Amino acid sequence: MMHMLSNNPQEQRDVTFIEAREVKRAIVGTQGLYKLASWRDGRGRQREFACRVLKMSSGVIEIAGPVTGSVGEWVTLYLHRFGEFLGPVIRVGERRLVMRIVTTNEDRHKIARKIDWIEDKKNRDNREHERLVPRNPSSTLRLSDSRVVPCQIIDYSISGAAISADVIPELGTILMVGNIVGSVVRVFSDGFAIEFIIIQDLRAADELFTKRDVAAEYRPV
């Protein structure tokens, strides 16, 4: 847990102020609570607000929340995965702020190690289900407006698939690939990725490649 600065000269020499230009690592979606020095209730107590992390490094944290304060204002932030952080606001935006972490070098290294551990775990979880490349990648998409369009399956697993098509649905869109229903969870330069609503087994995943006669139905957008 990060603590307020003490009057100990040695501890003050160990304090590092990390600039916002340090590369930020994505720990997106981590939930937390924060307080701003100027926001108090009728009894003079600091008000607490819910937030989520947009980006994070061992030196700076960007959060989304209902109030942003002003540049230079002191923030107390608690993240359930990491503990408590203290530091000034260095940039504000619409319902978001960036704070600098004020801490010792030792604690900063601990933060960096924790971020690395979480990132590695996330990558391991993403690789939990083996991804397969189909021999014949042709399939079809059925969209929410009932259009059916041809697509190519880039790769797939029992939990999702990467798709290339002439249409790029918005994040969160529910659609059908072959005969399997999923939602769009990521968009990239060559297409998009879907996550199946229900995890399939490998035999059921063959339903991804059920062909439809789309010649009469397909209209480019």
Residue 171 has pLDDT above 90, yes or no: no
Boundaries of domain holding 169: 138-209
Q: Phi-psi region for residue 11, left (φ > 0), alpha (ψ -120 to 50) or beta?
A: alpha
Q: Do 142 and 109 have their domain in common?
A: no
Domain boundary among 70, 103, 126: 126
Q: Do 166 and 111 have their domain in common?
A: no
Domain contains 3: no
Q: Do 157 and 105 have their domain in common?
A: no
Q: Do 44 and 69 have their domain in common?
A: yes
Q: Do 203 and 113 have their domain in common?
A: no
- Provide mean pLDDT across the span 108-137: 72
CB 61 within 8 A of CB 53: yes
Q: Do 86 and 145 have their domain in common?
A: no
Q: Do 17 and 98 have their domain in common?
A: yes
Record the pTM: 0.48
Report how many domains make up the chain: 2
Q: How many CA atoms lie within 13 A of 169 on its CB side?
A: 27
Q: What is the pLDDT of residues 25-76, one digit of tens each?
A: 446 778 899 999 999 888 888 899 999 998 898 999 999 999 998 999 999 9
Write out the two tokens for 94: 């619409």
- Provide mean pLDDT across the span 95-104: 95
Q: Do 20 and 122 have their domain in common?
A: yes
Q: What is the pLDDT of residues 172-198, one digit of tens each?
A: 899 999 989 999 988 887 789 998 988
CB 102 within 8 A of CB 17: yes
Domain contains 197: yes
